[in-house]
Structure 1
C-alpha cells in the first residue's frame, strides 16, 4: 500500500509531532550562563543574575566573570568554555564590541541559545551593523538561536524563569506577549499587576538579529499553555516569515498586534496613481488582513480583546443586538457601532412579538431594545432570553445603568446562569457606574461574560471580534477560479516583451506595449493601434470606426493628460488630423519634441459602466502591493481604494472589493444592472499573476478599467520596469510566495495514463474531498497509523488547511488524472513535504487512491518531492512508515532512503540526505 505517515502536524489531520523546538533551550533552559554577571549595585548584570536566582526555574545558573571567583555567592567562571556542563542558554551583557567573540566562544562550547541584552549595534550606525554581521557569521556555524540584541530579555512565568533586568516577575497566565520595545515591556508589566493579567511568555525581542516574529509566533503557537499572542510591533522584519507563521497560527490562536508609527510619513509616492495612493501603514493593514492578524490601536485594547476572545465565541457576522435600561447610552452605543464598522441587528418579527409579551408597552420596539429605567432583574432576564435567540443577531450587548429601581447585583446573578448556556454568539456587558455596580460586574466576569465600564468600549471590542472572524474566513473560503497551470508560453512571451523594452534602454512601456502585456494574461483591452504619422492615424481610425480617441505614444512621459496628450470622441478624419497635430504641438511645447513618438488610436467605447483602477506598486517591506478602487481622472481626489498582497484568488479578490465604497454600486444600484462580479474577480486574479510572475515590473496600473453589465475593458494602462541594470537578486519578491509553477510536471503511468503532478491549490478542495471519499480503510490506516472517520477528514476546515498552503514552509503535490470519457478531473494521489520547524530538514507523507496503486504513482510523487527538496536547498527528508507498509518501504529503498526501526514503536524511519 503506497501510504506513509509523517509525524509533522498535518494541516488536514491531528498527527504526532517531533519534539523539535529550537527555542526550547531559551524558554525552558536547564542551565543558564550569565556572561557579564557582576555585583555592581544597580547594574544590569547584577539585576539579571539576582532575578534568575530569586525566581527558581528548576535549573542551574553559572555566572561568567574573568575577574571574580564568585558573584552573589555563586561560583563564577572566567569564560563560557570553562563551565563544567553544556549550557542551554547564555545571556550576554557585555559591551557591544566584545559580543562577537563571546558568541564565537558560545558556539564552540555548544550553547543552544543566547539572549544579547547589550546595546550598541545597528541602532548606532555602520559600526553596529558590522558587529551584527560578525555575530551572525559565528552563530550560523551552529544551530544556536539568538534573541536580541538591545532587548530586555524574556520571562517564562509558568516555570519561574526571569531572564530580564525588569524589577518584577510577571503573573503566570495564558497570554504570550512579545514586544520590540523594552521600555514598553516594563510599563505593560507594571500595568498587568494592577489588572491581574497573566502571561505564558513575556518576551522583549529587541532588534531581531536572528529570532524574529515568525520564530516566536511558531513557538507560542505550538505552546499548549499559550491561548493568545499579543504583539507590540515597531517594524515587521522578515515579512514572509511573519506572514507564513501568523497565517498558520491565527486559525487556532488569536494574534493581536498594536503597531507603532501609524502617523509616519507614508512611503514615498511613486510616479503612478497606485504609488501615490499606497501608504505604508495601509500596506501593513493589508498584510495583517491577509494572515488573519487582528490589529488594534490602543494598548488597553490589546489585553481586553485577548481576554474577550478567550471567554466568548467569535461572532459569525457584524450584527449586534443591544439590550439597555436607558435610551441615551443605547443611542450613543449605536453611533459607535455603526461609525466603526458594525451593524445594528434588525429584530425578527418573532422576537418583537415575544418581547411584547414580557415588556411594558413603552419599550422601544426596535434595536436597541430599551426595556426602560424601572427594569428589575426579572425583566432583564426575560428580555435577555428572547434577544439572545434572535437569529438576526450575531452578538448581544447588555447595558445597565444604576437607576432607582435597578438592582445591578441581582440582575448579574440572573444573567449569569442564562449566559452560561451555549448560545454560540458573544455576550458582552456594560455595568455603568462605580462602586454601586462593582459587585454585579464581578459576578459577570467570573461567569466569563466580558464586562466593560462603558458600552462604547464594548462595541469596539465586538467590532474587533467580527473583523477577526472576517479576516480568518477570507483565508480559508474556497475560491472558484484559478488561472491555468499551462501558461509557460504566456510567461515566456511576456518576458520577451520586457526584454525588448530593456534592450532599448527603456524602463517605461508605451501604452500599446502595456496593453499587449495585459492581453497576454487574458485581460481585455480596448482595440488600440499605433500611429507614428498622421496618415497612419487616419488609416487606423477608418479601420476601427468612428468615434475614436487619440492618446500620446511616448517612451518617457508618465501621465498623458498632463501634457495635453489625450483627445476623445473624434468623429471624423478632420478631427483626427487636428487632434494628432495638437498633441504633437502640445508635447513639443511643454516637454520637447523628442518625447513624442506618435499616438495610439483607440476605439471610443460607449459603455455605461464604472471607472475602476487596478494597480500595483512596491513596498520596501512587503514587495509588490495590489490596489483596487474607484478610477478615472479624479482617482487621487476620491481615494476610494483598498490594498492587498498578491497573489489573489477569487475569494481574496472579492474580499478586496468589498472594502471599497464603489463595491455596492458594482452590485447594482438605482436600477442599474450589476457588473459581472465573477468576471471581475477573475480579472483581478490574472492581474495579480502578472505582478508575481514578472519580477521586473516596478509599477503597473490600469486606469480606467471600465466595468459594465456585459463587459470589462482596460481603456488605459501603464507599466514601469526596474532599471535594466538592476541585479536580479535585488528585484522585489512577493511577501507571500506565489504558486510554484516551476514544479508542474507531466508523466505517463505504467498503464499509459497521462498524469499531471503539480502543487496543490485552494481551488482543489472539492477534488480533495472526492479523493478522500475514494480511500479504503486500509489506505487511511497506513497513512495515519490509525483510522480517521471520513467526516473528520473531509470537513471544510481540515480540507481547506490541506489545500491552502503558503508554499514556503511546506509543499503539497497532487497527481491529477482527467477521465477521457467524462473529462472529469480527479486527484489520484497526494504527496506532502513539510519543513521541520527551525531546521533545514523536512518530512514527507504520501497517499495514493486505491484504484491507482501499484502503477508507479507513489514513486513518481516521491521522486518529485525529492526534486523539490533539492531545489529548496533542504538537507534531508524523512518519514515514519508502519512496519506493515512493505510497499512504501520498498519504494523508499528503491529511491535511496535508508530505513531504520523506531525503538518502542511499530514504525520504520526512512531518511535520505540531500546535501551536506
Structure 2
C-alpha cells in the first residue's frame, strides 16, 4: 500500500493513449475524445503504429518514439500486450498507467510495473476523471462536472450509471476513480491520497469485494479524521451460511464484521448510491447532533406517523420524551386544546407563527437533539410562510433542524428557500428520519474512531501468568479445544465471573460431586468439541438426588454415543444449579474473521441463539465506552432496563465482561474462538454458566492480527532527568488530554510560537483530542510523565512523529515544558522516538523549524539531524537518515 507516484495519476502534466484509434466506439477512440473535449491543458499523445494521426492529433508508432515522457499512460490495447507495454513505459520514465483490459497476465504486468515504479489503475478500470484540471482519462460515455466530492468504485458499470445520474442533479466531483480489479492501486492507496487533497471535502466508496485488508483500516481511519467518508458495499447474498463449531463463529458473518470495521473507522455505510449522495448532502448541511432523540412537529398526524414508522432500529433515532417544562411552554404558546406530545400535531390550519414558536421551544429543550419539521400542503396553510418562519427561528436558535415539505408543485418554492438557507430538506418524513439516522450513526462512529482502548489494565499481570500454561496445554489438545475446567479457569483468571463446577470421570463420580456441591445440580457431558450440547442431549438440568445424577449421566452418554461412540468414555461437568429468576440470558464470545481479524460477539443468549439473531459484532481492543455501544446496538439492550416486574440488569458488569474478553484475547493471541453462553445478567451482576475456548498456534495473518492496534504498553520505559528525577516515557493516551492542556498552559508564548509557527492563545478541545487520540498504526507520540506533589500524573513534554503511508518519511514535532529546559528531557524524548522509528524501518525523520529556533537546532544536530533549505522563508528543514547507522554521539 503506497501513495508513491499517485500524483502522476491524479495530477499529470501529459498523457499518452496507447492503442488510440479512430474506430467508432472503440476504447481508444472514446478515451481520445474524452481527453480532447475535457479541457486538459497538457500534451495528449496517441500511440498507434498504423495511423499517422488519431482524432486529428499526430500519432506515434511506439512508446519509445514519444517526444516527451508522459506522466500518465492509458492502455487501450488487448490484454496480451499490457505487460510488455508497462515495461516499455517504465523504461522511458512513465510512472502511472490506466489498464482497461481484463484479460491480462497480472503477475507479469505487476512485475514489470514494480521494476520501474509504475503505478497501475486496473485491470478492468473505466479510468480516472479529475474535472478540476480537465482530465478525462476514461472511456465513460459522459464527462463529470467539477465538484468537491471524490467517488472511488470497483464497478465500471456503476461509474457509468453514477455519471448519468449526477449530471442532471448538478453533482460534481473532485475525482472520479474506477479501481477495476485493484491489482496495484486499491482503496487504501486512494484513501491515503484523497485524505490530504484540499480539493476533496468528502470521499465516497462503492465496494464490491475486498480481497485483502492490508492498510485499508488504517487508511480509512486516517481519512475519516479529516473529512466525511461514506460507502456502499454490495452484500454477498449468495453466501452460504453454515453453523460454526462455535456459536460466535456462526454469528460473526463477514457482513457484520465489515460493519463493525466501518463503525470503528469513523465512516458511514449506507444502502445504495442514491442514499450515498443524500447522506453527503445531509452531513454538509445539517448541524452535528449530540444524541438520537428527535422531536417531530407537523400539521397532520399522518405525516408524523410516517416519520415514526422509520424509528425501529436499536440505537437509532428515538422520539424524545418531552419534559414537563417543555410541555408547559408549548401549552402556553399553542392554541387551547392542542394535544401536547411528540410527535406534535399543530393542526391543519397551522400558520407561520405557530410553526416558528413550536420549533423555537423544541430546539431550546435539553431533552431534544434535533427537530424534524413536516408540512403537508392544504388550502388552510401557506407552505412558503411556514418555511420562512422555520428558517428565521433556526437562524436565531442555531438548533439542529431537518425539514420535510411533502408534495411537489405547492412546496417547491419552500424547498428552494431551505436549500438557499442551508437547511436540509427531504421529500418525505421517512427520508428525513433516515437522514437523521445518518447523522446519529456518523456521530457515533466518529466518537468510536477517537476511542483508543488500553493495551493493559492494572492488575492483569497475574492473569497473563495464569493464562499461559492453560493456553499452552490447549495447543497440544485435539483441535486446540480447552477442556471445560481449563476454559473456566482461563475466564476466571481475567476476572469474568463463572459458576463453580467440578469435573467427574464417571456417573458415580458425578453423583459424588453433586453431593459435595449441593442439590439441585446441572450435568453436562465434558466434550469441548460438542458445539450445541442441548440439541445433542448432552445436558440435564435440575437434578435433585445422587441417583438422578447417575441416571442422567448414563442417559447422556447413551444419547450422544448414538452419533459419537467415543462419548462412552467422556467425563462430565457438574455444577450447582443457579437460581437467578430475573436474569437475562446473554452470549459473549470471540471469533476470527478472515479479513478483519479477531472480533468480539455479544447478544441474546440461551438455547436458540441463532434463531432471534439479536447480536452485534465489535472490533477489539475494547474499552467500556465501546463495550456499552455494542450493548446498545442490540434489541436485548432494552430488556436490560428496569420494568414493572424486575429491576434493571447491571449493564456496566456486562460491558466489563466484553472488555475483559478483549483483554484476554490481546494477551493470548492464540485464542481463535470462544463462547460464553449463557451469561446471566441481573441487578446482582453477571455470571457465566458455560464456556468453550479453542486455541491455535499464532500465525501472522489478517485473520489473527487486530485490525486496530491497541495501546502499545510494551513501549513504556523508565528514565531519569539530569538531576536524577525519575520519569516515565510512554505512548500518549486519550485520558492524557487534561494533562496535555496543562502542559500547553505552562508554555511561554515564545515557545508555543516556535512549536506551532504562530501565536497560540488557546488550544481547543477538538485540537487536544486530535493530539491525544492517535492511531498508533500511522502516528506515535511519546510523553514524559511524573507524579506531582498531589499524586497526580503530569505531562512534562511530548515528542511526536506522523509517518507517510510508505513509511519513508516521518515528520517530527517536540515540545518540552518551558521551565524544564536544560534538564535533558528534550534529548531523552528525541532519543526515544528515533529508536522507535528505526525499529519501524522508517527511512527518514524530518522536522521544519523556524530559523531562529536555535535551541531546537542544537538539539537536533546533537542527535544527528542535518539542516537543509526548506524552500520557505525563515524555515529550516532538519533531516535524519535512519538507514545509515545510528546518529552521531552528542
Matches within 5 A, 1:784-863: 784-792=756-764, 795=765, 797-818=766-787, 822-838=790-806, 840-850=808-818, 852-863=820-831
Distance change >3 Å, CA 269–CA 78, structure 1 → 2: farther
1:90-124 Cα offsets, whole Å, 9 max, x none, are 22222222222222223322223222222225xxx
1:372-395 Cα offsets, whole Å, 9 max, x none, are 323444544454444444444322
Tell me, in whole angstroms, the C-alpha distance in 2 between the residues paired with 1:409 and 1:558: 63
Structure 1: unaligned runs, 5 residues or longer: 1-19, 122-130
Mapped pair 1:399 → 2:371: no
Distance change >3 Å, CA 134–CA 529, structure 1 → 2: farther
The match for 2:712 among 740, 746, 750 is: 740
Report the secondary structure of 1:202's partner residue.
Answer: strand
Of 829-838 and 300-309, deviating more is 829-838
Matches within 5 A, 1:551-700: 551-554=524-527, 556-570=529-543, 573-593=546-566, 596-608=569-581, 609-670=583-644, 672-700=646-674
The match for 2:154 among 180, 198, 212 is: 180
Tell me, in whole angstroms, the C-alpha distance in 2 between the residues paired with 1:314 and 1:469: 7
CA shift, 1:371, in A, is 2.7
1:172-209 Cα offsets, whole Å, 9 max, x none, are 22222222211111111111122222222222121222
The higher-RCO structure (CA 8 Å, 6+ apart) is 1
Report the secondary structure of 2:133's partner residue.
Answer: coil
Distance change >3 Å, CA 759–CA 328, structure 1 → 2: same
Tell me, in whole angstroms, the C-alpha distance in 1 between the residues paired with 2:514 and 2:817: 59
Of 457-466 and 727-736, deviating more is 727-736
Tell me, in whole angstroms, the C-alpha distance in 1 between the residues paired with 2:347 and 2:642: 41
Partner residue of 2:683? Answer: 709
Tell me, yes or no, if the aligned pair for 2:600 and 2:658 is still in contact at 8 Å.
Answer: no
1:22-51 Cα offsets, whole Å, 9 max, x none, are 433222211112122122221111110111
Mapped pair 1:893 → 2:861: yes
Tell me, in whole angstroms, the C-alpha distance in 2 between the residues paired with 1:288 and 1:530: 43
Distance change >3 Å, CA 707–CA 443, structure 1 → 2: closer
Partner residue of 2:168? Answer: 194
Tell me, yes or no, if the aligned pair for 2:403 and 2:425 is still in contact at 8 Å.
Answer: yes
Distance change >3 Å, CA 680–CA 358, structure 1 → 2: closer
The match for 1:331 among 305, 326, 344 is: 305
Report the secondary structure of 1:681's partner residue.
Answer: helix
1:228-260 Cα offsets, whole Å, 9 max, x none, are 222222123544533323323334422222221
Distance change >3 Å, CA 296–CA 504, structure 1 → 2: closer
Tell me, yes or no, if the aligned pair for 2:456 and 2:713 is still in contact at 8 Å.
Answer: no
1:116-169 Cα offsets, whole Å, 9 max, x none, are 222225xxxxxxxxx323333333345543322211112112222111111221
Mapped pair 1:370 → 2:345: yes
CA shift, 1:814, in A, is 2.7
Tell me, in whole angstroms, the C-alpha distance in 2 between the residues paired with 1:313 and 1:252: 17
CA shift, 1:274, in A, is 0.9
Report the secondary structure of 2:481's partner residue.
Answer: coil
Distance change >3 Å, CA 535–CA 388, structure 1 → 2: closer
Distance change >3 Å, CA 860–CA 136, structure 1 → 2: farther
Tell me, in whole angstroms, the C-alpha distance in 2 between the residues paired with 1:45 and 1:311: 41
Distance change >3 Å, CA 339–CA 598, structure 1 → 2: closer
Report the secondary structure of 1:828's partner residue.
Answer: strand
Tell me, yes or no, if the aligned pair for 2:295 and 2:362 is still in contact at 8 Å.
Answer: yes
Partner residue of 1:301? Answer: 275
Partner residue of 2:383? Answer: 408
1:743-796 Cα offsets, whole Å, 9 max, x none, are 23333444444433333333333443344344443443333233423443xx1x
Of 417-426 and 825-834, deviating more is 417-426
CA shift, 1:805, in A, is 2.3
CA shift, 1:477, in A, is 6.0
Tell me, in whole angstroms, the C-alpha distance in 2 between the residues paired with 1:435 and 1:557: 65
Q: Scaled by the length of structure 1, what TM-score is found?
A: 0.88
Tell me, yes or no, if the aligned pair for 1:482 and 1:649 is still in contact at 8 Å.
Answer: no
Q: Scaled by the length of structure 2, what TM-score is found?
A: 0.91
Tell me, yes or no, if the aligned pair for 2:195 and 2:227 is still in contact at 8 Å.
Answer: yes
CA shift, 1:859, in A, is 3.0
The match for 1:782 among 748, 754, 765 is: 754
CA shift, 1:687, in A, is 0.7
Tell me, yes or no, if the aligned pair for 2:126 and 2:139 is still in contact at 8 Å.
Answer: yes
Tell me, yes or no, if the aligned pair for 2:455 and 2:712 is still in contact at 8 Å.
Answer: no
Of 517-526 and 151-160, deviating more is 517-526
The match for 1:93 among 53, 57, 76 is: 76
Partner residue of 1:126? Answer: none
Tell me, yes or no, if the aligned pair for 2:605 and 2:679 is still in contact at 8 Å.
Answer: yes
Distance change >3 Å, CA 97–CA 21, structure 1 → 2: closer
Matches within 5 A, 1:510-589: 510-532=483-505, 537=510, 544=517, 547-554=520-527, 556-570=529-543, 573-589=546-562
The match for 1:880 among 845, 848, 865 is: 848
Report the secondary structure of 1:636's partner residue.
Answer: coil
CA shift, 1:410, in A, is 4.2
The match for 1:214 among 188, 191, 204 is: 188
Report the secondary structure of 1:834's partner residue.
Answer: strand
The match for 1:46 among 6, 25, 29 is: 29
Tell me, in whole angstroms, the C-alpha distance in 2 between the residues paired with 1:267 and 1:208: 28
Tell me, yes or no, if the aligned pair for 1:212 and 1:238 is still in contact at 8 Å.
Answer: no
Tell me, in whole angstroms, the C-alpha distance in 2 between the residues paired with 1:727 and 1:319: 45
Distance change >3 Å, CA 600–CA 887, structure 1 → 2: farther
Partner residue of 2:423? Answer: 449
Tell me, in whole angstroms, the C-alpha distance in 1 between the residues paired with 2:590 and 2:659: 13
Mapped pair 1:474 → 2:443: no
Tell me, yes or no, if the aligned pair for 2:17 and 2:74 is still in contact at 8 Å.
Answer: yes
RMSD: 3.1
CA shift, 1:369, in A, is 3.0
Report the secondary structure of 1:651's partner residue.
Answer: helix
Tell me, yes or no, if the aligned pair for 1:548 and 1:602 is still in contact at 8 Å.
Answer: yes
Structure 2: unaligned runs, 5 residues or longer: 885-890
Partner residue of 1:484? Answer: 457
Partner residue of 2:133? Answer: 159
Aligned pairs, how many?
Answer: 880
Partner residue of 1:30? Answer: 13
Distance change >3 Å, CA 771–CA 371, structure 1 → 2: same
Distance change >3 Å, CA 777–CA 409, structure 1 → 2: closer
Tell me, yes or no, if the aligned pair for 1:628 and 1:642 is still in contact at 8 Å.
Answer: yes
Tell me, in whole angstroms, the C-alpha distance in 1 between the residues paired with 2:138 and 2:189: 20
Report the secondary structure of 1:637's partner residue.
Answer: coil
Partner residue of 1:5? Answer: none
Matches within 5 A, 1:53-132: 53-121=36-104, 131-132=105-106
Of 834-843 and 592-601, deviating more is 592-601
CA shift, 1:460, in A, is 1.8
Of 674-683 and 89-98, deviating more is 674-683
Mapped pair 1:864 → 2:832: yes
CA shift, 1:887, in A, is 4.2
Mapped pair 1:236 → 2:210: yes
Partner residue of 1:292? Answer: 266
Distance change >3 Å, CA 676–CA 437, structure 1 → 2: closer
Tell me, in whole angstroms, the C-alpha distance in 1 between the residues paired with 2:568 and 2:516: 27
Tell me, in whole angstroms, the C-alpha distance in 1 between the residues paired with 2:846 and 2:629: 39
Tell me, yes or no, if the aligned pair for 2:19 and 2:76 is still in contact at 8 Å.
Answer: yes
Distance change >3 Å, CA 354–CA 506, structure 1 → 2: closer
Report the secondary structure of 1:642's partner residue.
Answer: strand
Distance change >3 Å, CA 144–CA 852, structure 1 → 2: farther
Tell me, yes or no, if the aligned pair for 1:478 and 1:651 is still in contact at 8 Å.
Answer: no
